[in-house]
Structure 1
Amino acid sequence: MKKIKFIRANKTKFGGAEVYLSRLSDELNKLSIGHELIYSTIPKFLPSWIRVILFNRQVCSLKKNSFYFSLERISCPDIYRAGDGVHKVFLDIEKKSKLNPLHKTYLYFEKKCFNNAKKIISNSKMVKKQIIDTYGINESKIEVIYNGINLEKFDFEVAFEKINKEFFFDKLKSETIFTYVGSGFKRKGVEEFLHILSKLKNRNFKAFVIGKEKKLSYYEDLAKLLRIEDKVIFTGARNDVKDFYTISDIFLFPTRYEPFSNVVLEAMNYENVIITTKQNGAHEILTDKYIMQTPTDYSIVNKIDDLLENPEKISEIKAQNLEIVKNFSIEKNVEQTLKVINEVIN
């Protein structure tokens, strides 16, 4: 097989696409499949939109006979994995100006990328439909391959003792634990998360909000305004997210736009009830009952109160989700991805 070069501008531990690429690379190494990861070398002091243009020039000028599997919007991919969704759709949802130089640049390369790729991998049916509807791409060019994660076992007692020691919650074991994980609080629904919690009749819960956020004080002030500051802990970015998943009961993620969030699979793997929105491609693998029509679909509050009053329902859904997530291993994802790569190469 020709050596595959995977293209992604940023190298970080926390981005969804970057985490996926790391898992994919690890699995390819296990299979002794030669590949290379290409990241941007463009100086970060330059404006974002200029960096996008220069990165495209960097990778496309050096392509020659290389096989490019891109996770970035570039003009010269062989395969493009649309893990970031459709930027044009995102702009409409967020009501952002398409005249902003960065957004204009993204839209230019997005169109080029979808048109020039020999094959497109979408990580949800939702995104596939958005690509077709927005850019008129032939559906036969798009393969849906859902995300995959490392399926791991966990030790509740070890995780509980660690977190309880840090946060000193005497009642932690008797309370229902909510979690939110993700950076970019506005798009991913932390404000709605807090409003939902504030509307619950049952107050026997604790909630952890995990992720990096520049405007954290806004959300801390909102928690105070909603009178749930004693119920919600903002932890910042963490390297031990698995411990929070492990002690959590309900993963609440009222996002505005998410092609398919890895965090949903991760939370399912650690036996969480999942509550998310129809704007998250991950809703496709879940039952409809706990899917919000929009981030402000507060009819979910009554359903959550029902869960809090009936812990046996929580246990039942946790077990169901653990069974579902077994179908979404990184091994299965890589197998499906290699099939598409082989089709294009050959």
Structure 2
Amino acid sequence: MKITLLRLKSSKFGGAEVYLSRLSEELKKRGIKFDIKYTSAPKFLSSWLKIIWYNLEVCLLKGNKFYFSLERVICPDIYRAGDGVHKTFLKIENKSKLNPLHFVYLYIEKRMFKNAKKIIAISNMVKRNIIEEYNVPSEKIEVIYNGIPLKEKVPFDELKKEFNINNEKILLYVGSGFKRKGVKEALDIVSKLKGNFKFFVVGKEKNIEWYKSYAKELNIENKVVFTGPRSDVDKFYSMADIFIFPTKYEPFGSVIIEALNFENVVFTTDMCGGGEILPEEWIIDDNIVNKIQELLNNNKKLDELKKKAKDISKNYSIEKNVDETIKVINEVIN
């Protein structure tokens, strides 16, 4: 049976969009027939109207199609909850109650989790959220962690020259949406560290000037580099030693595996699904400054943990992810 993959829009950025691209490549390699259905909604429509439009066009025309959805729709055969649970997200984020997008998402989400034959949660945290918020039976939900194309480090001499890096240790954050993903909290941590290091913040943010001002207020403007969005992120991972991701809510976060894969010691919160694959001591707590400071002071321990990070990443290839995903698809089809 041909699989129809659902996602509202095509993009080079965004976790679900990147995953869709990787999944598509793997399905091609395996000779599995599929197509991708994006929305035909006019671009001038607001987000909530686009979501309604998309639901109408895919659900009214479903027929005998098999839908593997990466988008919130009320008629999936399998739904991959890569965007987490919106009801949980709203409890964490202080969003306007008047925005109709939230009403639309909650309306669809409730019916989607009920109607899907199977749900793929990308972390145990997301599985718990689905069960808690919508009382979905546990056996209906499979946890399949994200996977990435595993790589080796790439040369980064150009970056060292561009940013005048000598022997400094490199701390790194990668991601857009600075508020939810904790860039302010990362700057607070960095402001309490001592030694010869630089902290690179890589990603798109419309309020970036506020974060630059905050770094100045903390008197660490000489330690922090805001690069904006970059197409050479692999070079930053390759150059970095420690990855800091103090997110308030992240269903998984492929940046976690990417950073591990390039031998970064990764620190994140217990609100990040990707934290489930990390050693417990790498979860951010009240002792986080001392943990990072010790690594900045102890090259031997830092090198040991960087090798450990690489070893962890080897369990999370895109090939393994797709193997597990195809197994679920076959269970539902057969």
CA contact (8 A) 1:255 1:277 kept: yes
1:175 shift after superposition = 1.1
1:99 shift after superposition = 4.1
User: 2:178 is matched with which residue?
Assistant: 185
2:235 is the alignment partner of 1:236: no
- SS across alignment from 2:13: coil
Map 1:1-346 to 2 at 5 A.
2-155=1-154, 158-159=155-156, 161-169=157-165, 171=166, 174-200=167-193, 202-292=194-284, 297-346=285-334
- SS across alignment from 1:49: helix
Aligned residue-pair number: 334
1:62 shift after superposition = 1.7
1:97 shift after superposition = 3.9
1:154 shift after superposition = 2.0
- Distance of 1:309 and 1:164 partners within structure 2: 21
CA contact (8 A) 1:91 1:98 kept: no
- Distance of 1:74 and 1:344 partners within structure 2: 18
- Distance of 2:213 and 2:313 partners within structure 1: 36
- Distance of 2:205 and 2:121 partners within structure 1: 28
> Which aligned segments of 4 or more residues in structure 1 are displaced greater than 4 angstroms?
none
- Distance of 1:134 and 1:311 partners within structure 2: 45
Deviations 1:116-164 (A, max 9, x none): 1000000101110110011000000000000000011123xx21x1102
Amino acid at match of 2:59: C
- SS across alignment from 1:177: strand
Q: TM-score, normalised by structure 2?
A: 0.98
1:261 shift after superposition = 0.4
- SS across alignment from 2:59: helix
- SS across alignment from 2:129: helix
1:44 shift after superposition = 2.0
1:12 shift after superposition = 1.2
Amino acid at match of 1:124: S
CA contact (8 A) 1:196 1:298 kept: no
- Distance of 1:199 and 1:217 partners within structure 2: 22
1:253 shift after superposition = 0.3
Deviations 1:239-274 (A, max 9, x none): 110000001000100000001000000001100000
CA contact (8 A) 1:211 1:236 kept: yes
- SS across alignment from 2:27: helix
CA contact (8 A) 1:91 1:97 kept: no
1:10 shift after superposition = 2.1
- SS across alignment from 2:256: helix
1:100 shift after superposition = 2.2
RMSD between superposed Cα atoms in Å: 1.0
1:176 shift after superposition = 1.0
Amino acid at match of 2:148: I
Q: Which runs of 5+ in 2 are unaligned?
A: none
1:13 shift after superposition = 1.1
- Distance of 1:100 and 1:125 partners within structure 2: 29
